[in-house]
Structure 1
Amino acid sequence: MGRSRKDRKSARDEYTDDDTMSTTSTVSSSDFNNGPEVEGEFDESTLMDQYVEALYQKRASIREAGLKGLIDAFTSTDLTDFAEGQCETLSSRFINSVKVGAGNEAAQGARALGLLAFTVGDGSNAQQILADATPHLWKVARVGSSPAARSASLQALGHLAFIGAVDLEATEATMELLWSLINHRRSVEDQKTGINSPPASVKVSALMAWSLLLSTVDSQKVSSHHLQSSLPVLSSLLNSEDLALRTAAGESIALLYEMTNSSGFAGDVEDSVDDIVPPVSRPSNSSVASSARATVPEDEVIEQMKALSVHAGGKGQPKKERAALRSSFRELLAAIEDGVAPQVSVKLPAGNTLKFNSWTEIIQVNAIRRFLGEGFQTHMQGNPLLHEIFDFVPQSEKRNTLSTKEKRMLQSPNSVVSKARTEVMNRRRQNSQAQKIGDFSASGYNSD
């Protein structure tokens, strides 16, 4: 299902303005000024204009309210026409929030940029958003003081490149930026490199975004370049104390092995990665790349995975979470040893179901679900970009299915509907019997 970017073409159904701007919403005036809170009904186009206008205000709280309104709208409604008509304006205002905003505003601005790209699709608009936003998102990711803003900027970078990068060179340019944070080690060179040491949560976001882009790279390129340069670093991250970072590293390794095997480059499982991954040459004075100097044998990676499949949980972690982590690493181990990916199904409205059976697809759908959040269902139903990525055609009409409660209320023999139906049927029987008796009496009277 998941596809590389070069195979995708943007396709949009044409809607009228009435289709996308006909609903009404309730807005509070206190979101945008200091006046008393007054609620009223507004046409959605008016409300969207107010959100955009808020992005020009000096007060950060007003800009944040505008960003939140637009993010909610992009995740809950198909706003293709609105996004395409005001793409340049929206992109510049979102970038402004990334540039000048504090942690929360910068994080919201980064997410809004990604949602805008998802809405306009993989054409020239997305390419321009990527070009304009990358320097500012990367600055926040590199030297920002807020971990949340740094993570949001990295996620946005990954998705913008996933949608808007025009070729492999553009994709790998973003991957290199992300990798510099994944492979970063705290050192005296931090001031020289201009990178604030990233906490584990920031590395997780960078690694997930990197894996998303890796899933679009040609498998031969993965075999010849990314495997040999990435595996030693990812192996070291499996030893991290942060559980989320361990899991993200494990998923990236599973993806590397799957793509390498699909290219026909790798040998049997018993072969050593020494046959695939030669020692990685690095400058001797580079502490940032020190973890990638040595080759990591395949059996060592497998032993790491086996250990984590038995003892993946950290001390003090809930029992349920530890069990989920062990299960996750058992699946990752199966991918490396046997080339088997888990079967994943995602239920959608109208009885639709997405099914995935490769790590390439799983990495893509999980990344997009995390980024879109509650908007994933809406976008999967109406967004041509996602239809193209996952080779998915939604059903046009919803099935008339009832919940358990509705079935009990409407179909149970003791429900009000059933009792009313029984009463009507009894009345009909009584009327029918009375009519028959009347007809019989009339027939008997006439015969006399």
Structure 2
Amino acid sequence: MSTRGEFRPKAETPAESGSSQCTATVCTFLHVVFCFSSRLIKVKTILRFKKRWIRWKTLNYNWLSFFFLGGQHGNVQPFSDEDASIETLSHCSSFSDTASVADDGGEASEDTAQEDFQYKLKGFIDSTVDKSAKTRQGALDGLKTAMATRILYEFISERRMTITDSIERCLKKGKGEEQRAAASLACLLCIQLGSGIESEEVLKTLKPVFKNILADGSASIQARQAVATSLGLCTLVAEDDILDVHATMECFENLFTRSCARGDGTCPSVSPQTSQLYTNALLSWALLLTICTASQIKDILRKYLPKLPRLLESEDVNMRIAAGETIALLFELARDMDTDFEFDGWDELCDKLNALATDCNKHRAKTDKRKQRSVFRDVLKGVEEGDFQSETIRFGTERMTIDSWVRKRTYDAFREFVGSGMNYHLQANEFIRDVFELGPPMLVDSATMKAMKIPRFERHLHNSAAFKARTKARSKFRDKRVDVGEF
């Protein structure tokens, strides 16, 4: 007999015992199913969800029993030794499957990097309307760098109007470097969008602003220089009406003709910044020559070919070089239409080109003379013989040959904006590949690229052989006189 007040535990009924065992079985089954299904999830995600599962099972075990067994609660431990052993096995199996989820982890890291990159771009776009001019310029430069080094068509097409409005606002209200950055960004935006309705709408919005800045003598000279270059390439990419192209060329003609020598042979006195503006206008005008119709080229040859040789007398070496390359380009286009093309001032023009190709005036800098002589030797060959010094551009597993003045002017225009990302755009940008007739982009995996890479030792042998051949070729033209000293 028990004494009064003694505590005696209540005996567990068979129903309660069965309820406890059933609850434990259900929980164990659910846990095993969860462990096996979680093997397809990333390792970090597995560990996080397991902790949540343990916490949930510990805190809500009675609720689970009530849900499955109709409210009969049993005296079962919330986390038994059997569960612990299963948990340990699940951890081991998860770590053994690390190799199987490595690819998923790599894809996840790439996705995360892409999300971070897009988040940063969104921040740049938002900062283009900031009150601080320095912040706006930094945002424009950030967008320029991103567009020059990556293909962002989908991201940009969704935010095209926002970016266009930001560029227009910076061009109208900004000053100097901010306007310069905005003009360059407009050009990169058209390159990303390619030739189509989207880029046409961008140009339709920005072209009036460009022309106003270009014609405004009181505007910043840096902004006018950038606009002169950007308007030319944007017109090449996005303009679909040849009459509008001709109207844009007239804007450039009104600028670079101011640098022509007068009738008495004297050159107008302009500042170096203004001379650079005229040079940019001439280069953009030459770029648009490449898409003109045959009838327009005939009119231009008749009207401007006699005037362009006057630009060869400019004091600015960049203007002289731009004028020489434009003359060679015009002769190439003329001979494509008529192989027997003749120019009235042929002899005088060839004399000027020959003088510039052998220029040795002491009042000019050595670097300027070296660059000028190199360019005008090619220009003289192009005008006299119709030849062009071809150049091969290598990018990835492909090669592109620049074999004409038209192709050279187009390549130089794109490279001026894209910069070091030109090879990447030649590989991946469908519009640029279409311009240079490279076909659709080629997809080459990293293993193939590595297999096609030339070993370092072979590259060294090739460079040594090329250096030896170049030295022998140059030695034929070097002075062989021997210094005998003084007596």
TM-score higher than 0.5 here? yes
Deviations 1:236-259 (A, max 9, x none): 110001000000000110011110
Higher relative contact order (CA 8 A, sep 6+): 1
Distance in 2, matches of 1:380 and 1:77, equals: 11
TM-score (norm 2): 0.65
Residue pair 1:260, 1:266 contacting (<8 A) in 2 also: no
- Conserved? CA contact 2:256–2:281, under 8 Å: yes
Q: Select which of 326, 330, 345 maps to 2:377.
A: 330
1:313 to 1:254, Cα distance in 2 relative to 1, 3 A: farther
**Is contact 2:259–2:275 with CA below 8 Å preserved after alignment?**
no
Question: d(CA) in 2 for partners of 1:96 and 1:312?
Answer: 48
Match of 1:293?
none
Residue aligning to 2:296: 221
CA contact (8 A) 2:149 2:418 kept: no
Calculate the TM-score normalised by the size of structure 1.
0.70
Comparing 353-362 with 108-117, which one deviates more in the overlay?
353-362
Determine the C-alpha separation between the residues in 2 that align with 1:76 and 1:128: 24
- 1:207 aligned partner: 282
Q: Which of these residues, 193, 197, 220, is aligned with residue 124 of structure 1?
A: 197
Partner of 2:183: 110
Residues 170 and 266 of structure 1, relative CA distance in 2, 3 Å threshold: farther
CA distance in 1, matches of 2:307, 2:205: 31
- Report the residue type matching 2:337 in the other structure: S
Offset, 1:372: 1.5
Task: Answer with 1 or 2: which has the greater Rg.
Answer: 2
- Structure 1 residue runs of 4+, over 6 Å off? 405-408
- Answering whether residue 300 of structure 2 is matched by residue 254 of structure 1, we say no
Q: 1:199 Cα shift? A: 1.2
Q: Secondary structure of the residue that 1:373 maps to in structure 2?
A: helix
How far did residue 60 of structure 1 move? 0.7
Q: Distance in 2 between matches of 1:312 and 1:175?
A: 35
CA contact (8 A) 1:306 1:333 kept: yes
Q: Please give the residue correspondences for 1:320-399 in structure 2 after superposition, counting only pairs within 5 Å.
A: 321-348=368-395, 350-393=396-439, 394-397=441-444, 399=449
Q: Contact conserved, 2:388 with 2:404, CA < 8 A, in 1?
A: yes
Compared CA separation, residues 339 and 23, structure 1 to 2 (3 A): farther
Q: Give, in angstroms, the shift of residue 121 of structure 1.
A: 0.6
The 5 Å alignment of 1:211-290 reads: 211-223=286-298, 225-264=299-338, 266-267=340-341, 271=342, 273-274=343-344
Task: Give the conservation status (yes or no) of the 8 Å contact 1:312–1:325.
Answer: no
How big is the shift at 1:226?
0.6
For residue 315 of structure 1, what is the aligned residue in structure 2? Answer: 363
What is the SS of the residue equivalent to 2:401? Answer: strand
Q: In 1, are the aligned partners of 2:259 and 2:278 still within 8 Å (CA)? A: no
Q: How many residues align?
A: 336
Identity %: 26
Does the 8 Å contact 1:220/1:260 carry over to 2?
Answer: no
Q: 1:366 to 1:144 in 2, by over 3 A?
A: farther
Alignment of 1:133 with 2:206, yes or no, is: yes
Give the corresponding residue for 2:150: 77
Per-residue CA distance 1:38-58 (angstroms, 9 max, x = gap): xxxx71221111111101112
How far residue 374 of structure 1 moved from its aligned partner, in angstroms, is: 1.8
Q: Which runs of 5+ in 2 are unaligned?
A: 1-106, 261-269, 461-487
Residue 219 of structure 1: CA displacement?
3.4
Kindly indicate whether the alpha-carbon contact (under 8 Å) linking 1:60 and 1:101 is maintained by their aligned counterparts in 2.
yes
Structure with the largest fraction of helix: 2
Partner of 2:456: 404
Aligned-partner Cα distance in 2 for 1:118–1:314: 43
In structure 2, what residue type is equivalent to 1:338?
E
Residue 231 of structure 1 and its aligned partner are, at CA, apart by 1.6
Give the distance between the partners of 1:74 and 1:314, measured in 2 at CA. 44
Other structure's SS at 1:347 match? strand
Shift of residue 130, structure 1, vs aligned partner: 1.5
- How far the C-alpha of 1:184 sits from its partner, in A, is 2.3
Counterpart of 1:366 in structure 2: which amino acid? D
**Whole-angstrom distance in 1 between the partners of 2:362 and 2:256:** 22
Q: d(CA) in 2 for partners of 1:387 and 1:144?
A: 39
What is the RMSD of the two structures over their aligned residues, measured on CA atoms?
2.6
